[in-house]
Amino acid sequence: MDIARTPSTPEGNPEMADAAESPHEPAVIRRSDYKPFAWRVPEVSLDFALGLEETHVTAVLAVERNPQADASPTIHLDGDGLEPLTVKIDGEVATSWSMEGNDLIVSLPGDAHQIEVTTKINPSANTALMGLFASGGMLCTQCEAEGFRRITFFPDRPDVLSVYRVRMSGPKAQFPVLLSNGNLEAEGDGEDGTHWAQWHDPWPKPSYLFALVAGDLIANSDIFNTVSGREVALNIWVREGDEGRTGHAMESLKKSMRWDEETFGREYDLDLFNIVAVSDFNMGAMENKGLNVFNTKYVLADEDTATDVDFDGVEGVIAHEYFHNWSGNRVTCRDWFQLSLKEGFTVLRDQLFSQDMGSAPVKRIEDVRVLRGAQFPEDSGPLAHPIRPDSFREISNFYTATIYNKGAEVIRMIRTMAGEEAFRKGTDLYFDRHDGEAATCEDFVKAMEDGAGLDLTQFRLWYSQAGTPKVSVRLTHEGDTATLHLSQEVPPTPGQSDKQPMPIPIKLALFDRDSGEHRGEQLITLDKAQVSLSFDGFAKPPILSVNRGFSAPIVVHRDISSDELVFLAARDDDPFARYEALQDLVVGHLKDAVDGSLDDAARKDARQAITSAIAAVLADDTLDDSMRGELLVLPSESYLAETMLVADPGRIHAERQSLRAAIGSALEPEFTAVYQRASQVPYSLSAEARGARKVKTQALVYLAAGNPDLAATMAAAQYDSANNMTDRQGAMMVLCGLEGIERTNKLIDFYNRYKGNALVIDKWFALQAGSMHPAALAHVKALADHPDFTMKNPNRVRSLFMAMAYNPQAFHAEDGEGYRMIGDFILALDPINPQTAARFVPQLGKWRRIEPGRSALMREQLERIAAAPGLSRDTHEQVSRSLG
């Protein structure tokens, strides 16, 4: 499953044990208490009589005692808001059942039985969008993590694997297309304008992978021939009129299928692969076996309505869900503590795929930016947890950047230490050894050890310890010997005060100052608290390039001069290390500026060094524009805050904007020239054209800071002449942060041009909510009353309020208005969609790292939310943990 992603920054880049204590406090589930379920459920038959307001579900479960579990005289079937209409055992109406809270408890005297339960649900009333829900006249399911229990009573846990047969019937005019997992067995017409379809999935799966879609849809269809010669029918189902925007998604699917065969040896295993685009969806997409359900945001794309970032998002999410067919479906997770087993591994797989489809260095920088923007703050805050948690109360709150993005980095480190060939042997062994099983993170690590020939005993600490390691780096020189001094510290996190040193693979190179060359990249493993390494043959102190390629998810504190950073920013042959040197140069200056330690001369010198480095990036003919665009992006305000013990968001924003304005003013001719040169490149999806659009937008951003009037004129002209959404949105983004009539005119034109296209109107909301305009909060308030805004659509909610929550200037308004607005919003959304509401809490949860005035205002909102009656479990847990 792909979690809904963090909104873009203004630059357009991705920035079973204790009893419940109260309705807010569900039982704590602990990994150490895991026990196999007492019953197996090898076969499930489901019959759906479909209706938007009333759907009847008849579930027939073949159950048998599990010889690997403790025997039980009853079977516990999870439910959520259900009432059984009938319960039968072996065909007879049963009386030996009872309700325990939401759950159905059935007494079973023998070793094997057939249980039949009938329920009735109202999909239209399901605003939480979990289970079976209605979306624009169609029916759809979302069952991960615990949504299946909202459809019927079932042992809704990932280690219960079943073969499903599904029959659906309903009005043919209303639901002409009936889809479920697996292969279509039969279909036909019924009486009174109804029809039916029967589906069978031959592969055992957990209930969270069940899927059903019924609606009026049209398909973009194609064929894929697998490496063994199987012909697979591919369909991307959308509403009529949207099929013209599915071509990129179809090509991305076929590329993903071929890449997984060639890179990981994984072949698709059904005769049919369906994708359905749904307008109302909490997540990005869901990997249900053979029937992937997608947020429309990650399916629909053409040049007029989708940016280059959107095209990348479609390709990456399509790949992610397809790759789950093996890393998640064929091998699933034993329990939800093992969530990173499938998600971390699959994120790595989709990252490697995207690297191969485009620029590997640029993709690596983008992934690190997401990690630092979302996961590093999580690791340093009250919600910190290991990639394999020890306990939870509400599993939906653990679909986090730690599970996904840090989980991917942990497996990437195994790949780095093993090498690509040995890593492939390890993954082959993992898939072969655990095919058809519910596995654990330990199973994966053991397969890596056995297949790749590694000793990962100490490495297992990455699975159990939370927090981002801090690595201090110092290089000394004496005679012709350079000595590298390394030390590591894993900071305390909630529930984990004392940490052990972890093995950290670090790629490094030592540059000769005169020649500008190095003797080759080296990989070392820092597995102790401190270590010193000597390197001979350096008559002069070399310049250290460290954590090249971001070989480990760590924070590096290095004793290095600004001159050496300028050298690396200009000459390092590792693209990420070059990017990192420029970032460190800027971060160091802005930290000094924010804490007030710079006098005028020091400020001038630092800005001149940074400006010179940016000028070198603009003039470097060896760089492609895509990489040039990445090097021009200043560190985000949230990342700058992470580098400080206590952050003052107002000072950070002011200093960062001041630096950008200084660079934009000093290099106005250079930025103008780059902009004009890039504007001559015709539109296409080629790497050259995409890079040109990226660098053109970055040039506008700097010019808007240094010369707003000039930038407004250029942006307005770009908007008027744009023949693609990347250029139009880039211009609109710059204008949204400026005063003037052009801003108003273009916003009106943008809305009128695209009204009725929900995904583009989402952009219209987000551009205003995420803008640098001083009145952004007032704009958000007005937009919340706009006729096109609704609290029931997660995309629309995120486009306005998540964009504002990730807009540091607006969210951290000194008077606390941004905090109050998000507090009000969470309380309003929680009764409608608690899962989405809970995802807004972590922004307020950063209060401990913020200066005292704002910190008190943030905590005040958390306390107000915590005191609200009837708060959902999702939101209550997030607020409680945030308050500590």
What integer pLDDT is reported at residue 24 of this predicted model?
Answer: 52
178 and 83 part of one domain: yes
319 and 345 part of one domain: no
Predicted TM-score of the model (pTM): 0.97
822-860 exposure pattern, b = at least 16 Cβ within 10 A, e = fewer: bbebbbebbbbbbbbbbbbbbbbbbbebbeeebbebbbb
Smallest Cα–Cα separation from 44: which of 162, 195, 200? 162
Percentage of the chain beyond pLDDT 70 is 98
In a domain, 594, yes or no: no
Phi, psi of 230 (to 5 degrees): -70, 135
192 and 117 part of one domain: yes
Round to whole Å and give the CA distance between 694 and 715.
14
261-287 exposure pattern, b = at least 16 Cβ within 10 A, e = fewer: eebbebebbbebbbbbbbbbbbbbbbb
Among residues 421, 446, 464, the one where a domain terminates is: 464
167 and 249 part of one domain: yes
Judge if the upstream peptide bond of residue 319 is cis by omega within 30 degrees of 0. Answer: no
Round to whole Å and give the CA distance between 152 and 346.
29
In a domain, 672, yes or no: no
Among residues 277, 305, 323, the one where a domain terminates is: 323
Task: Give catalytic residue positions.
Answer: 321
Asked which of 10-24, 569-583, 823-837 is least confident by mean pLDDT, the reply is 10-24
In a domain, 252, yes or no: yes
Round to whole Å and give the CA distance between 63 and 160.
11
Q: Do residues 253 and 274 make contact, with C-beta atoms less than 8 angstroms apart?
A: no
- The rounded mean pLDDT for the chain is 96
Q: Range of 44's domain?
A: 36-323
Concatenate the DSSP letters of all residues of 602-628 into one string: HHHHHHHHHHHHHHHHHH-TTS-HHHH
What is the number of domains present in the chain? 3
Residue 97 β-bridge partners? 106
Q: How does pLDDT run across 448-498, given as a tens digit for each residue?
A: 999 999 999 999 999 999 999 999 999 999 999 999 999 999 999 999 999
In a domain, 55, yes or no: yes
What integer pLDDT is reported at residue 338 of this predicted model?
Answer: 98
Q: How many helices (H) and strands (E) would you count in the chain? A: 31, 31
180 and 49 part of one domain: yes
For 610, the token pair is: 């940074």
268 and 388 part of one domain: no
- Assign 780 to helix, strand or coil: helix
Smallest Cα–Cα separation from 445: which of 434, 457, 433, 437? 457
- Assign 298 to helix, strand or coil: helix
pLDDT band at 422 (very low <50, low <70, confident <90, very high): very high
Among residues 446, 464, 482, the one where a domain terminates is: 464
For 141, the token pair is: 């399911």
Q: Residue 375 is part of a domain; what is its CATH number?
A: 1.10.390.10
CA atoms within 13 A on the CB side of 326: 22
In a domain, 257, yes or no: yes
314 and 340 part of one domain: no
293 and 216 part of one domain: yes
27 vs 79, higher pLDDT: 79
Q: How does pLDDT run across 685-734, given as a tens digit for each residue?
A: 999 999 999 999 999 999 999 999 999 999 999 999 999 999 999 999 99
456 and 402 part of one domain: yes
Percentage of the chain beyond pLDDT 90 is 97
Q: How does pLDDT run across 157-182, given as a tens digit for each residue?
A: 999 999 999 999 999 999 999 999 99
Q: How does pLDDT run across 41-51, given as a tens digit for each residue?
A: 999 999 999 99
451 and 532 part of one domain: no
Q: How does pLDDT run across 262-295, given as a tens digit for each residue?
A: 999 999 999 999 999 999 999 999 999 999 999 9
What integer pLDDT is reported at residue 606 of this predicted model?
Answer: 96
Q: Residue 263 is part of a domain; what is its CATH number?
A: 2.60.40.1730
In a domain, 784, yes or no: no
What integer pLDDT is reported at residue 9 of this predicted model?
Answer: 40
Phi, psi of 488 (to 5 degrees): -130, 150
In a domain, 666, yes or no: no
- Assign 294 to helix, strand or coil: strand
Residue 286: which H helix or E strand, with range? strand 285-286
In a domain, 47, yes or no: yes
Residue 850 β-bridge partners? 647
383 and 491 part of one domain: no
221 and 285 part of one domain: yes
